[in-house]
């Protein structure tokens, strides 16, 4: 029990740490107050799946920043390895039409695995020397809002990471829930009625709501309204 590591959970404050990165010292989450953060780990530098992921993240960085979100990476490799790998990506690697890709977001060195263990990124069933592909969505108040974990052998779906970010922001801004496969412009779900009276009102409100039953009501939410609310224009 002494060595047991408890993973952070959704709704908890993101564990604090100070670490060296390719963009200088990071004090997390303090340095990112007021912004969303996608904090993610990768198993190792100079590996092909990780390379494809970093190129994809770097090519989407502006898209994330427009949604008030910064990217922050981590692996258990050292700073000089990080620098050499990112330079190699820019100078030599081409993938899916992406080339000359410069990774500008910070990549944390975690040789001691202190941060990785604090976030439950080291899973001995996969490896005790490499971090799995973890993704933490941290909101502007430093609260963990979503957690995704992938094994070493499978690259992440970056469209889903971005979709989940926009969905979280939309749910917060409009006090709604997002159904399966939701994207901006799709109908959203109205929170479940808390009383019989409210349930009846919703069932009768055929102009603004589409209620399949008292607990399942959806409504329109204009795509432009969503994007203008959550994206920087």
Binding residues: 133
Residues 117-126 as b or e (16 or more Cβ within 10 Å = b) = ebbbbbbeeb
**50 is a catalytic site residue:** yes
CA pair distance 97, 208, nearest whole angstrom: 45
CA distance 233 to 221: 19
Residues linked to residue 150 through DSSP beta bridges, in sequence order: 133
- Give the three-class secondary structure for 132: coil
Cα dihedral 218, 219, 223, 228 sign: negative
Residue numbers in the known binding site for substrate are 133
Structural contact between residues 123 and 132, judged by C-beta atoms closer than 8 angstroms? yes
Region of residue 202 (phi > 0: left; psi between -120 and 50: alpha; otherwise: beta): alpha
Active-site pick, 50, 69, 178, 211: 50
The first and second tokens of residue 42, run together, are 């990768």
Of residues 21, 17, 133, the one with CA closest to residue 83: 21
**Rounded to whole angstroms, how far apart are CA atoms 198 and 47?**
55
User: Which active-site residues does the annotation give?
Assistant: 50
């Amino acid at each position: 029990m002494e060595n047991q590591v408890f993973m952070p959970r959704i709704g908890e404050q993101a564990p604090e740490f100070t670490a060296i990165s390719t963009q200088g010292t990071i004090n997390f989450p303090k340095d990112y107050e007021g912004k969303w953060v996608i904090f993610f780990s990768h198993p190792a530098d100079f590996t092909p799946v990780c390379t494809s992921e970093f190129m994809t993240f770097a090519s989407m960085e502006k898209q994330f920043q427009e949604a008030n979100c910064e990217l922050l990476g981590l692996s258990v490799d050292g700073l000089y390895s990080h620098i050499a790998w990112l330079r190699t990506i820019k100078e030599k690697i081409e993938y899916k039409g992406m080339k000359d890709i410069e990774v500008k977001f910070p990549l944390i060195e975690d040789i001691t695995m202190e941060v990785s263990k604090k976030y439950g990124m080291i899973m001995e069933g996969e490896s005790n020397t490499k971090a799995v592909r973890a993704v933490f969505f941290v909101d502007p108040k430093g609260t963990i809002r979503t957690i995704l974990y992938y094994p070493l052998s499978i690259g992440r779906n970056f469209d889903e990471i971005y979709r989940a970010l926009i969905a979280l922001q939309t749910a917060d801004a409009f006090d709604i829930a997002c159904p399966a496969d939701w994207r901006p412009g799709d109908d959203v779900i109205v929170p479940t009625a808390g009383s019989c009276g409210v349930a009846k009102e919703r069932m009768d409100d055929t102009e603004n709501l589409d209620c399949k039953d008292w607990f399942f009501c959806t409504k329109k939410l204009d795509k432009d309204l969503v994007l203008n609310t959550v994206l920087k224009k």
